[in-house]
Amino acid sequence: MSKEKILVVDDEEDILELVRYNLAKEGYQVKCVTSGEDALKAASEETPDVVLLDLMLPGVHGLDVCRNLKSNESTMNIPIVMLTAKGEDADIVAGLELGADDYVTKPFSPRVLLARIRVVLRRKLETQPSEVSILKIHDFVINPGRHEALVKGLPVVLTATEFGILHFLARRPGWVFSRDQIISSVKGQDYAVTDRSVDVQIVGLRKKLGQAGSFIETVRGVGYRFKD
């Protein structure tokens, strides 16, 4: 039986009960809270393995909760799955840009929700510190084990997705990859994403890298590559 801890954040009691029941049945340890403030407190007190986060919350909005968790060193590596009634690209892109790992829109299938949670948990396990070679190229030093990127010796704070994209492209300088290939390498082949959201991730990554962002080149009509 699974023992992973999942923090569920939603202000609808019926949704909380539905999610709690299905997760507990699978063996997960489940904690439910109904506000953004309580979510931040719960995540800091006992680090969960996944946060299932509604966006439309009273008080602190779900996107602000996501931003706070991803900017805090102690919680930035917790996978976040957004659970929201909003399915528009703008909301999805906003969450992904802040570092969320996936999203499920209401109404949802419990089976689909469980599958998404298993994917982010598996991805988290696969990216745990390990004996992975440190990559040195141009002005970059990329350490996958420590989830650390240095540019000219200075650390750059990246979300998990931004780091994954940088590492994927930098490992194959000169190779051109489509948006689907890039996101599949970072998120998994079954991850639903729009071309626009991939572009937003690249824009954010370039901005954080400053002048070094020019090493990530756009190949019009195809995708992106890391300059060789």
At 146, which CATH number? 1.10.10.10
* Distance between CA atoms of residues 182 and 185, nearest Å: 5
SS3 content of the chain, % helix, strand, coil (to 5): 45, 20, 35
Same domain, 139 and 180: yes
Average pLDDT over every residue of 43-49:
89
Residue 166: pLDDT band by 50, 70, 90 thresholds?
Answer: very high
Cβ neighbours of residue 166 closer than 8 Å, sequence gap 6 or more: 140, 142, 149, 158, 205, 209, 216
Same domain? For 187 and 161 the reply is: yes
Are 102 and 152 in the same domain?
no
Q: How many CA atoms lie within 13 A of 199 on its CB side?
A: 11
126, 157, 175 - which closes a domain: 126
Q: For residue 50, count CB atoms less than 10 angstroms from its CB and return exposed for 0-12, middle for 13-18, buried for 19 or more.
A: buried
Q: pLDDT value at position 130?
A: 43
Beta-ladder partners of 9: 33, 53
Shared domain for 14 and 88, answered yes or no, is: yes
Rounded CA separation 171/106 (Å): 38
Last residue of a domain, one of 60, 92, 126: 126
Structurally, the chain folds into a number of domains equal to 2
So what's the pLDDT on residue 157? 92
Range of the domain at 164: 135-226
The per-residue pLDDT for range 102-160, each reduced to its tens digit, is 888 888 899 999 998 998 888 776 555 443 578 999 999 999 878 899 999 999 999 88
pTM, whole model, 2 decimals? 0.58
Domain boundary among 126, 148, 165: 126
Please state, rounded to an integer, the average pLDDT across all residues of the chain. Answer: 86
